A = this chain, B = another copy of it.
Amino acid sequence: MIQEITSATNQRVKDWAKLQTKRGRCKQGKYLLDGWHLVKEAIAAQAPLLEIIFTAESKHHTDLPDDLDVPYFQITDSIAKKLSTTPSPQGIFATVALPEPNAINPDEVQGAWLFLDQVQDPGNIGTLVRTADAAGFAGVVFGNGTADYHQPKVLRAMQGSQFHLQLVDADLTDWITSFRKRALPVFGSELNEEAKQYDQVGKYQDFALVMGNEGNGMQADLLALTSDNLYIPIKGYAESLNVAIAAGILMFQLRA
């Protein structure tokens, strides 16, 4: 049951290409995984796959199962180039249903959570989610103004971690307030030598860490809501750390 597509002007191909944009993803209710690692992660996680798309060549290099209950499409190399945002695509793709806007209640969640306040760079966002996954975090909350995490560059840097932890779009004020009401620590982060040194606050099971925008850091009104704001001392002459590096150091330090 493999359908072959050879024309780049085929309507399906045009629709898949539109998944590179947020508008296209919203309209079609799905997003595109590019590359065998991500497709394999989606299959392993039993993600809601909608279509498998591959070139003849790519089938030889992967152990793509042929019995998934979704339509399979064989495409040409030039169509693969059109669908991919990388210079040398592997030629294997899958579409996945966008998750339902989830109504996760911050009053009920457990574990460690990463809150992102207006983080902008897609590579940073993907790396932040991958690192939160590696650090054993339960989820990541994307505050208003944080970039869309189904865009190709974020997906590439996330390396499939969206299938391992919970991703939530929400208002950070609500989540911080809820954690504080439950007496769970919420650590802000700022480049301020008067903040608390990051390795002096102990380790926790249930808590939140907030990371801010690359250029401007966290918003002042959020900094005012946290239990403590943490600082990583800069020992050399760099002005700051990359946000994903800082978050990696903090997450591995704080998580019990």
Contacts and interface: CB of A to CB of B under 8 A. Distances in A.
A51 to B, nearest CB: 25
A134 B241 contact: yes
Contact of A245 (B131, B136, B161, B234): B131
Q: Quick one: copies of this chain in the complex? A: 2
Interface stretch (A21-29, A82-90, A247-255): A247-255
Contact of A133 (B159, B161, B238): B238
Interface residues of A, number: 32
Which of A136, A239, A242 has the largest count of B CB atoms less than 10 A from its CB? A242
Contacts of A123: 123
Nearest to A241: B134
Contacts of A232: 252
Given A249-B248, A252-B232, A238 B127 contact: no
Contacts of A255: 235
A24 B245 CA distance: 32
A128 B162 CA distance: 25
B235 A161 contact: no
A230 to B, nearest CB: 13
Nearest to A247: B245
A31 interface: no
